[in-house]
Chains A and B, each alone.
Chain A
Amino acid sequence: MNINLTLIGQAISFAMFVAFCMKFVWPPLIGALRERQATIAEGLAAAEQGAQAQEVAQAEAQQLVSDAKTQAAEIVSQAQRRGNEIVDEAKQQAVTESDRIRTSAQAEIDQEVVSARETLRTQVSSVAVAGAERILKREVDANSHAAVLDELIAKI
């Protein structure tokens, strides 16, 4: 193991290589690394931001959907109520209508009865007169017995 000039030669070449590395190797490489690190950090931050925005949007959408659901339910219940009302109204109307029809029918019937009775009355009087004529075997003056006949008719 001889210590000799190699020691100094090695020290000189060491210094030269370090100087070269310091000037031409280290700065560009470390610069690129730092820059890439910054780019990646930015990308990650952007991704996080995007995720956050998405979350917010999702919450918003959910809100909208639930709002719409409530609204729809309201509308449905309103429609149901309205439908019920309409049915009720129709029922009411039908009842009224049927009442009216019944009343008018009743009135007609009553009228018919009255007119039939009237007719009957007139016919009864003529039947009575004819009967009496037969009984009395003679002509009876209808006019002179009108008072009696009217009394008879009124009794029917």
Chain B
Amino acid sequence: MATDAGRAPTASEYIQHHLQNLTWGRHPDGHWGIAHGAEEAKEMGFWAIHLDSMFWSILLGSLFCFLFWRAAKKASTGVPTGFQNVCESLVEFVDDTVKDSFNGKSALVGPLALTIAVWIFLMNLMDLIPVDFLPEALLRWGGIEYQRVVPTTDVNVTMGMSLSVFALMIFYSIKVKGGKGFLAELTMQPFSSDNKIVQGILMPINFFLEIVALVSKPLSLGLRLFGNLYAGELIFILIALLPWYLQWSLSLPWAIFHILVIVLQAFIFMMLTVVYLNMAHEHH
């Protein structure tokens, strides 16, 4: 840990250490490298990358792809067994959700929703690993100073996904309604008038309202997931400050409750993505 040798970290140091990503980026003096401490990471600004978040998120995404790819290879019309059955149930569940909430026809929405649901679930699942296991192990045997193993507690990760969804929303809005139609959607409602002059006055108001509504979608999508998981992680870290023989009394109930949260948040992210894309496909 990033403390002076021999001294145990204070509670606040412990928490801060746990909330610090392993950041690799450009130092203010121009050379690239790992940031030692929150200050250095902050100074790097935008040109830095969280190695831990990227590593775990790509690892878990690859795990998802590998598992489902294996299931897909074995997919047949016969009776499915074991993990095959789990994959098919998930796919069927996602497919039903998409069918219920998405009225258009798109080859993308189903796979997108499945990827989101399973990937986010796996990333959230990392939260149930006791907070000190992986960071301590990596520090002791890998010499890695900082480590956050739950990618969804990194706002970059959740916003990276929600902004991708946002890009898809814009793309489909323009593709389905055309550039003019999309602009009309932003400016001609909710207030409209037959009088051209009045309409002209209303347009900026409409535009402001609609832009706020539009931008709030990806923001709420990303920040909801981040907030829930960050809060959950923080509570686990706080519980870890208790004496070791008391920790179970709080961490166990919280972990059990958290099982609900991690599934729910993955589902909400998927569901809202489908709903937002459906809205992008609909004419008003």
- B156 in contact with A29 (CB, 8 Å): no
Report A39 CB to chain B, min CB distance, Å: 5
Q: How far apart sit A22 and B111, CA to CA, in the bound complex (Å)?
A: 5
Q: Is A28 an interface residue (CB 8 A)?
A: yes
- A28 in contact with B72 (CB, 8 Å): yes
Q: Which of B158-166, B183-191, B245-253 makes up part of the contact surface?
A: B158-166
Q: How far apart sit A62 and B61, CA to CA, in the bound complex (Å)?
A: 65
**B206 neighbours in A (Cβ, 8 Å):** none
Count of A-B contacts with CB under 8 A? 136
Q: Is B77 an interface residue (CB 8 A)?
A: yes
Q: Is the interface of B mostly helix, strand, loop or mixed?
A: helix
A11-B163, A15-B164, A17-B61 in contact; A3/B69 too (CB < 8 A)?
Answer: no
Q: Is A136 an interface residue (CB 8 A)?
A: no
Q: Is A36 an interface residue (CB 8 A)?
A: yes
Q: How far apart sit A17 and B151, CA to CA, in the bound complex (Å)?
A: 16
**A30 neighbours in B (Cβ, 8 Å):** 91, 95, 110
**Which of B23, B50, B91, B155 is close to A29, meaning CB atoms less than 8 Å apart?**
B91
Which residues in chain B, 114-169, are within 8 Å of chain A measured between CB atoms? 114-115, 119, 151, 154-157, 159-161, 163-164
- B54 in contact with A29 (CB, 8 Å): no
Q: How far apart sit A35 and B54, CA to CA, in the bound complex (Å)?
A: 38
Q: Which residue of A lies closest to B226 (CB)?
A: A1
What 1/0 flags go to A26-49 for Cβ under 8 Å of B?
Answer: 111111110110010000000000
- A4 in contact with B156 (CB, 8 Å): yes
**A144 neighbours in B (Cβ, 8 Å):** none
* Residues of A bordering B, CB below 8 Å: 1-11, 13-18, 20-22, 24-33, 35-36, 39
Q: Which 5 A-B pairs have the closest CB atoms?
A: A10-B160, A6-B156, A32-B75, A22-B111, A26-B111
* Residues of B bordering A, CB below 8 Å: 21, 23, 25, 41-42, 44-50, 53-54, 57-58, 61-62, 64-65, 68-69, 71-73, 75-77, 87-88, 91-92, 95, 107-108, 110-112, 114-115, 119, 151, 154-157, 159-161, 163-164
